[in-house]
Amino acid sequence: MSITAEQLNRSKAPDIKDATEFNLTLKPYEKYVLDNGVEVYAVHAGTQEVMSVELVFKAGNWYEQQNNVAAAANFLIKNGTSTKTAFQLNEHFDYYGSHLSRGCYNETATIILHCINRHLGTHLPVIAEMINDAIYPQHELDIYKQNMQQRLSVNLKKCDFVAGRLIDEYVFGKNHPYGVYSNPEHYDALQQQQLLDYYKQFYTNGHCTIFAAGVLPSGFVQQLNASIGQLPLNKTILPAVVHPLSPSAEKKYRISNDANGVQGAIRLAQPFPNRHHPDFQPVQVLNTLFGGFFGSRLMSNIREDKGYTYGIHSYLLNHISTTAWMISTEAGKDVCEATIKEIYFEMEELRNEPVDDDELQLVKNYLIGTILGDLDGPFQIIGRWKNLILNGLDEHYFYSSVETIKKISAKEIQELANKYLHPEKFYELVVV
Amino acid sequence: MINFERFVLSNGLKVLIHKDLATPMAVVNVLYDVGARDEEENRTGFAHLFEHLMFGGSINIPDYDEPLQLAGGENNAYTTNDLTNYYCQLPAENLETAFWLESDRMLSLAFDEKSLDVQRKVVSEEFKEHYLNKPYGDVWHKMREMAYQQHPYKWMTIGKELKHIEEAKLQDVKNFFFKHYTPSNAILVVAGNVETERVMQLAEKWFGPIPSGEKYLRNLPQEPKQQQARRMEVTADVPLDAFYKTWHMPSRMERGYYITDLITDILGGGASSRLYQSLVKEKKLFSSLDCYHFGSIDNGLLTIEGKLVKGVDIKLAEQAVNEEVEKMKTQLVDINELQKVINKTESTMLFEDMGVMSRANSLAFYELLGDAGLMNTELGVYQSITANELMEQSKTIFEETNSNTLYYLSKN
């Protein structure tokens, strides 16, 4: 039997199940504690024979006394131990098609291994050696400084890079870990001994938590215990560091970076409390509506109606102790001010008019659908867990955020808009 | 091993089904066999501009995104020199919504003047954001024009110049649509938590009635073998001197393609690769250095690019690159080094195949190449490559007469 075009009503959408009717479950982790007290959170999932192991140290720039020490200590941890050169270390991981990357953030710094699961046992002793016996060779540090300075010189030509640094400085202050950034002289000032000292305190004798996911090989906890579990980790109490915020008094900035530029980078931001604040979850829904997805108010107006930009987004920064609500776009040089005007117009709309039922339902369905899709796969699941655990939260937070999405009303959204979406609360920056 | 089933509708639409019942989601991927290489030289950037217009409403549905988002779905698309690919993911229960949306825009677009007007501007901003307002942003415009004299790879997907996009007319849009966006020119992949029977029914129901259209027969001018080295020097307001050199390489379905892929990994695949170790770490000539290719379907370009350490003479840097390249032609790659890049290839494939969306994407791409089953057999090709083949292939590619060199110098 064939159906002809005449019988089909293409104007009518097929019936759908509202995504808000879906039950979302966050697959639980299994937790282990190694001999030295290092906690391991593991999610066994997936079909491919691959896995990830992430070692999270409390070694972000929160703890450094001098700009860039934390980042350099993290980056160069892979550039030599007393028995292996940087090349030998790289070769060790590359040979098996494995990938060992590292990342330095504000509170944390990480070492992440991605590998085919049968190679885990080969890699763990080498990772343990990196944590216990990195030597930070002077020539590696010299190359690092030079290459980072060169990379910085290229980035500083980009308006969006410059805007990203400056807006953080305005919101958090230049001396706060969330607002600090690097200049060439900060690289010049780096000393080998500083890195070694930082490394000893925050890696070798530091505080570590492990997140593992994928098709985990049998005996993987024993393997972790035999290597990482025997290191002197989690024994010493780390210093309690307090960083006062020092936001800028001035709110509006126009910066000229490239006289021949054809676009400006626009950033608007206001300080916002962290995930423990009761407004955090409901504001995620308001934010989605405002500028958090392709169908958002900002995108519909400024890209899809005016064509001022290739893309405009709003989001809450992923910080732990306190955060900021950010709006970010690049727009044609001559339409930057018009873009800002439209952003404020959309704030005003949200303050003055309750969102209608259809649009709210759409945002809810979109958000739930996204979470459903995002829980698909071991790395995504462990990513959710890591974010919860590092923020001092548990699965209740996940389920309450799902409930918030399902239940939030137009009235609550409008109230939140009236509480937060006022132009005078925002720092405003254009870098051209 | 990626499982799939395949059938063809009477209008020529190829349908592939990949089941993965572990996920609650379904993915619908529609690949159209049209890319920037199918454009006319005086109307470039069109395939990509068109991709934007595909979201501006179809003949019976005023908006693509809203109903999909309402069904809990997300979508995106990309255009390359070779193809245009649209994909969406949504809860499997709402699969039919994706069929409804994708089939209507294959049937016909709304061809709305306002949508064209806005997307011309959006794409112009995209052009500026990525290619004009960034240091070194125009490198590939220059390199492609130098390396290709006949083949349409000589322009970039975004287009040769802003003007072509700004001058696009609605009639051009219509002609392009009816020439390329036909069932016989498309591949539909449905993946995730789906049942074969149901997908077949839905495909018949929504895509079956679309007229097959005229099959577009690609007949592109082929690039003649390059006979003489080409060089170009540019001075611009950039902080560092940069070096770019390309060599013509085999097309996607030749064995030489796979061999070349391994050559790029040996030279530039990560921190233990030859170029990085020798020229960044030991000789300190470059602050960054890469070797790669674009995976082009027609004959592509093997590329080495790097930023020079300040004060280094670019001629010396080029000479050092040439020495590394020369080694590939004269010395057999060690068995361990060969094994390393094969292992890397295996691992990359396994990681890529983790997500159902990425699997759907790959199935469509390999079907475009001729057989989705290649997805399961390509690793075997890589594993069969010998050190001798790497050397022979290097001799063919790394001929100076086959090369294009661009010095992108800092005016400061």
Please report residues of B whose CB lies closer than 8 A to that of A310: 122-123, 125-126, 129
Average pLDDT score over residue span B338-355 = 94
Residue in the block written with tokens 């995108």:
A299
**B89 closest CA partner among B103, B105, B68:** B68
Phi-psi region of A44 (alpha: psi -120 to 50; beta: other; left: phi over 0): beta
Residue B404 domain flag: yes
Asked if B270 and A22 come within 8 Å (Cβ–Cβ), the reply is: no
Locate B3 and state its tokens.
């499982």
Distance of alpha carbon A335 from alpha carbon B219, whole angstroms:
42
Locate B301 and state its tokens.
């370009």
A3, A114, A150 member nearest B204 (Cβ): A3
Q: Which residues have a Cβ under 8 Å from the Cβ of A44 and sit 6 or more positions away?
A: A30, A213, A214, A215, A216, A378
pTM, rounded to two decimals: 0.94
**Looking at residue B214, what is its pLDDT?**
86
Residue B215 domain flag: no
Asked if B270 and A90 come within 8 Å (Cβ–Cβ), the reply is: yes
Asked if B69 and A362 come within 8 Å (Cβ–Cβ), the reply is: yes
pLDDT tens, residue by residue, A324-346: 999 999 999 999 999 999 999 99
**Looking at residue A93, what is its pLDDT?**
97
Asked if A261 and B73 come within 8 Å (Cβ–Cβ), the reply is: no
**Residue B303 structural domain:** 230-410
Residue of A nearest to B337 (CA): A95
CATH of the domain at B103: 3.30.830.10
Average pLDDT score over residue span B389-409 = 98
Residue ending a domain, choose from B206, B241, B266 = B206
What is chain A's Cα-based Rg? 24
Q: Which residues have a Cβ under 8 Å from the Cβ of B157 and sit 6 or more positions away?
A: B35, B36, B45, B47, B48, B79, B80, B81
Distance to chain B for A238, nearest Cα, Å: 33
Phi, psi at A165, each rounded to 5°? -70, -45
pLDDT tens, residue by residue, B49-63: 999 999 888 999 999
pLDDT tens, residue by residue, A352-386: 999 999 999 999 999 999 999 888 889 999 999 99
Locate B56 and state its tokens.
């501006």
Domain spans of chain A?
Answer: 30-230, 252-431
Residue B392 domain flag: yes
The domain made up of A252-431 has a fold known as Cytochrome Bc1 Complex; Chain A, domain 1 (3.30.830)
Distance of alpha carbon B271 from alpha carbon B269, whole angstroms:
7
pLDDT tens, residue by residue, B277-311: 999 999 999 999 999 999 999 999 999 999 999 99
Q: Are residues B274 and B401 in the same domain?
A: yes
Please report residues of A whose CB lies closer than 8 A to that of B118: 303-307
The DSSP code for A305 is: I
**Looking at residue A1, what is its pLDDT?**
41
Distance of alpha carbon B10 from alpha carbon B211, whole angstroms:
9
Residue ending a domain, choose from B173, B206, B239 = B206
Please report residues of B whose CB lies closer than 8 A to that of A116: 346-347, 350
Locate B265 and state its tokens.
């990994």
Any idea of the CA torsion for B179, B181, B186, B189, to the nearest 10 degrees? 180
A14, A50, A157 member nearest B239 (Cβ): A157
Evaluate whether A310 touches B129 at the Cβ level (below 8 Å).
Answer: yes
CA B227 to chain centroid, in Å, comes to 27
Percent of chain A with pLDDT over 70: 99
CA distances from A125 to A89, A134, B14, B169, B321 (A): 12, 13, 50, 63, 35
Locate B111 and state its tokens.
């061809």
Residue B219 domain flag: no
CA triplet B318, B319, B323: central angle to 5 degrees?
A: 115
pLDDT tens, residue by residue, B253-285: 999 999 999 999 999 978 999 999 999 999 999
Q: Are residues B238 and B185 in the same domain?
A: no
Q: Are residues B202 and B241 in the same domain?
A: no
Give the per-residue SS3 of chain B: CCCCEEEECCCCCEEEEEECCCCCEEEEEEEECCCHHHCCCCCCCHHHHHHHHCCCCECCCCCCHHHHHHCCCEEEEEECCCCEEEEEEEEHHHHHHHHHHHHHHHHCECCCHHHHHHHHHHHHHHHHHHHHCCCCCCHHHHHHHHHCCCCHHHCCCCCCCHHHHHCCCHHHHHHHHHHHCCHHHEEEEEEECCCHHHHHHHHHHHCCCCCCCCCCCCCCCCCCCCCCCEEEEEEECCCCCEEEEEEECCCCCCHHHHHHHHHHHHHHCCCCCHHHHHHHHHCCCEEEEEEECCCCCCCCEEEEEEEECCCCCHHHHHHHHHHHHHHHHHCCCCHHHHHHHHHHHHHHHHHHCCCHHHHHHHHHHHHHHCCCCHHHHHHHHHHCCCHHHHHHHHHHHCCHHHEEEEEEEECC
**B271 closest CA partner among A399, A414, A86:** A86
Residue of B nearest to A332 (CA): B125
Q: Does A95 touch chain B (CB under 8 A)?
A: yes
Q: Are residues B170 and B298 in the same domain?
A: no
Which residues pair with residue A427 across a beta bridge?
A: A269
pLDDT tens, residue by residue, A281-297: 999 999 999 999 999 99
**Looking at residue A20, what is its pLDDT?**
82
Distance to chain B for A243, nearest Cα, Å: 34
Q: Which of A154, A361, A364, A370 to mutate to test the interface with B (most CBs of B within 10 A)?
A: A154
Percent of chain A with pLDDT over 90: 93
Res. A6 pLDDT band, cuts 50 70 90: low
Same fold for the domain at A30-230 and the one at A252-431?
A: yes
Res. B318 pLDDT band, cuts 50 70 90: very high
Q: Is A394 helix (H, G, I), strand (E, B) or coil?
A: coil
Q: Does A330 touch chain B (CB under 8 A)?
A: yes
Residue B213 domain flag: no
CA distances from A15 to A167, B95, B97 (A): 45, 10, 8
CA distances from A67 to A70, A73, A103, A144, B367 (A): 8, 11, 16, 15, 52
Asked if B209 and A14 come within 8 Å (Cβ–Cβ), the reply is: no
Q: Which of A8, A11, A16 to mutate to test the interface with B (most CBs of B within 10 A)?
A: A16
Distance of alpha carbon B45 from alpha carbon B159, whole angstroms:
4
Distance of alpha carbon A398 from alpha carbon A377, whole angstroms:
17
Average pLDDT score over residue span A181-195 = 97
> What count of other Cβ atoms lies within 10 Å of the Cβ of residue A20?
16
Q: Are residues B45 and B167 in the same domain?
A: yes
CA A150 to chain centroid, in Å, comes to 25
Res. A2 pLDDT band, cuts 50 70 90: very low
Distance of alpha carbon B82 from alpha carbon B296, whole angstroms:
7
Asked if A306 and B128 come within 8 Å (Cβ–Cβ), the reply is: no
Residue B74 domain flag: yes
**A98 closest CA partner among A51, A54, A142:** A51
Residue in the block written with tokens 């070798």:
A204
Asked if A258 and B24 come within 8 Å (Cβ–Cβ), the reply is: no
Distance of alpha carbon B362 from alpha carbon B346, whole angstroms:
15
Average pLDDT score over residue span A100-120 = 97
Distance of alpha carbon B225 from alpha carbon A172, whole angstroms:
58
Which residues pair with residue B17 across a beta bridge?
A: B5, B190
Please report residues of A whose CB lies closer than 8 A to that of B237: 157, 260
pLDDT tens, residue by residue, B141-196: 999 999 999 999 999 999 998 899 989 899 988 999 999 999 999 999 999 999 99
Q: Are residues B74 and B186 in the same domain?
A: yes
State the burial class of residue A44 (Cβ atoms within 10 Å of its Cβ: 0-12, 13-18, 19+).
middle
Q: How many domains are there within chain B?
A: 2
Which run of H or of E encompasses A168? helix A159-172
Residue B28 domain flag: yes
Distance of alpha carbon A74 from alpha carbon A63, whole angstroms:
13
CA distances from B168 to A366, B48, B173, B176, B182 (A): 33, 12, 8, 11, 21
What is chain B's Cα-based Rg? 23
State the burial class of residue B50 (Cβ atoms within 10 Å of its Cβ: 0-12, 13-18, 19+).
buried
> What count of other Cβ atoms lies within 10 Å of the Cβ of residue A291?
26
Whether the per-residue pLDDT at A4 is higher than 60: the answer is: no
Residue B217 domain flag: no
Q: Are residues B169 and B254 in the same domain?
A: no
Locate A80 and state its tokens.
């030599």
Please report residues of B whose CB lies closer than 8 A to that of A150: 239-240, 287-288, 307, 309-310
Distance to chain B for A207, nearest Cα, Å: 28
CATH of domain A30-230: 3.30.830.10
Please report residues of B whose CB lies closer than 8 A to that of A366: 69-70, 72-74
Which stretches within A179-305 are classed as H helix?
Answer: 184-188, 192-199, 220-227, 280-287, 297-298
